[in-house]
Structure 1
Amino acid sequence: MPPKAPLNWGLLPPAFLLPSSTRSLLPLIQQNASQSSRPAIAYTSVRTIKSTNTPRPDRFAHKPGKPALNSTSTAALERKAHSTPLRTGVLALKRGMTAVYDPSTGKRTACTVLQLDRNEVVAHKTRDKNGYWAVQIGAGQREARNVTKPMLGHFAGAHVTPKRWVAEFKVKGQEGLQVGVGQMVGAGWFNVGQWVDVRGISRGMGFAGGMKRHGFSGQPASHGQSLMHRGMGSSGGSQGSGSRVLPGKRMAGNMGNESVTVKNLRVLQVDEKNGIVVVNGCVPGPKNQVIKLQDALGKPWPKGPMSVEEGVPVEVSVGEGGAAKATASATA
């Protein structure tokens, strides 16, 4: 097929095709076109539908009035800064429960005794090297023959004895690293009356049924009910739920032996010499269970020591000789 001639949409048709009334206007149109120095601007109209709805906020913004969340690691640390403790925590052993009495009112308060066992700083985690701020604490003692060579070198670099337990405690910033590597953190790290959070592994109960594990009421005990008194009942529908058991259904299974956090426990007593911290209420786990003890996240930050020198009492920091005691008392 021969090529089609382009359509000249911007040109007027021939004069013989125009009506007689328009032919008289052709000289004026040509004169105005020659006098006009501004080039013609091509404009193409687009027909759309005008929406009356207001634009929706960004779906990545956690609140409509705030900007979208940033995906960088620095922005993530800034978002968690308000809930990150200012200083490190410690590892403690649960020794059991007892009770203390208020001498003024005679009120009895149940409490748990936690004992610190040679907590020493093993390493520091910095923002430049590790991506976050944290203090690595080691507690207890272990024979060198029972420790792997990489961990032996790790402990030797910090100039501490091999530890039985090692844990990390995140801090808000560099001011939380004032506790130097190799220094020991005692019970004086906490003040009487402050709030703490405890984390530990709960006591394992083995395989348990629905009534013990989730508190189900069970089936009726009479009226023809046979051998199903402690049964959990139906576990899923047929057609309505897709003929399946929905994910997350509470059923019989292993009970306990999981990480549990108890928040906002008040410190009742502190014994720096014996490394004992007494907290109000119960603590997860059996006796001799390792517990993580740190400042409470849901309470105002305590005005506690940020370094070991600020938290150790005078009688503990000085030596046993008389000259050292005299020097300490004179300095005080």
Structure 2
Amino acid sequence: MRKSILGRKVGMSQVFDEEGKAVPVTVIEAGPCYVVQKKTPERDGYAALQIGFDEVRGGKLNSPLRGHFNKDKVKPLRFLKEIRLDEAELDSYNVGQEIKADIFGPGESVDVQGISKGKGFAGAIKRHGFHRGPSKHGSKYHRGPGSLGAAGVGRVFKGRKLPGRMGGDKVTVQNLQVVKVDSDRNLLLVRGAVPGPRKGLLVIKDSLR
């Protein structure tokens, strides 16, 4: 059964292994999450688990969301995500069930998904790694994207690498090792960096590889 949990990025730190070497880790506040809804193939056309994270006052939610939580007497939560499961795996969960960080253990591999930091409008060199243009003989074209090719077509082909908004994309970093689990404080220490800024929402799943 694949394990999943929602969390929030706390920041980066380091721990020391048995040999005394420093290991860079990202501290993630993972859960507690709660099962809000079970989706079945008979009713919804697919099998999934809707889980919520981060308790919030009911007055901060709109009326449809309050009704969604009140239907099964689940406490109001700020974030909702669907986790696809096999139909047989749904039976091991109940609405309102709590999911904590201790579903993972040290040494396991996880995939962490988040929204990368937004960097605003960027040129082709910063955004795509283009090289600078000629800097001699009076050239005034140093950091431009260059020729767009396809003369006479009268349009720019889709997918052409050009200046534009950089960052703010959904990014998944795979096969990160869980270094330590603090179940009392719902903290996961994962080796390496994960996408997004501090306090950014993350989805942590065990790796399939």
Interval of TM-score (by shorter of Structure 1 and Structure 2): over 0.9
1:108 and 1:287 mapped to 2: Cα distance?
22
5+ residue gaps, structure 1, are: 1-85, 300-332
The residue that corresponds to 1:181 in the other structure is 95
The residue that corresponds to 2:8 in the other structure is 93
The 10-residue stretch of structure 1 (278-287 or 114-123) with the greater mean CA deviation from structure 2:
114-123
Greater helix share, structure number? 1
2:137 and 2:91 mapped to 1: Cα distance?
67
Greater strand share, structure number? 2
**Residue type of the partner of 1:232?**
P
Q: CA-to-partner distance for each residue in 1:45-82, whole Å, 9 max, x for gaps? A: xxxxxxxxxxxxxxxxxxxxxxxxxxxxxxxxxxxxxx
Q: Percent identity?
A: 40
Q: How does 1:157-196 map to 2 (within 5 A)?
A: 157-196=71-110
Q: How does 1:110-189 map to 2 (within 5 A)?
A: 110-189=24-103
Q: How does 1:65-104 map to 2 (within 5 A)?
A: 86-103=1-18
1:88 and 1:176 mapped to 2: Cα distance?
12
Structure 1 residue 219 and structure 2 residue 126: aligned? no
Q: Look up the SS of the partner of 1:140 in the other structure.
A: strand
Structure 1 residue 296 and structure 2 residue 203: aligned? no
C-alpha distance 177-167 of structure 1, shift in aligned 2 (>3 A): farther
Q: CA-to-partner distance for each residue in 1:119-161, whole Å, 9 max, x for gaps? A: 1110111121112111111010222112122211211123221
C-alpha distance 225-238 of structure 1, shift in aligned 2 (>3 A): same
Question: TM-score by structure 1 length?
Answer: 0.60
2:39 and 2:104 mapped to 1: Cα distance?
23
Q: Look up the SS of the partner of 1:174 in the other structure.
A: helix
- How many residue pairs were aligned? 209
Q: How does 1:1-332 map to 2 (within 5 A)?
A: 86-103=1-18, 105-226=19-140, 228-239=141-152, 242-297=153-208, 299=209
Larger of the two Rg values belongs to structure: 1
CA contact (8 A) 2:38 2:90 kept: no
Question: TM-score by structure 2 length?
Answer: 0.94
Higher RCO by CA contacts (8 Å cutoff, separation 6 or greater): 2
2:122 and 2:133 mapped to 1: Cα distance?
17
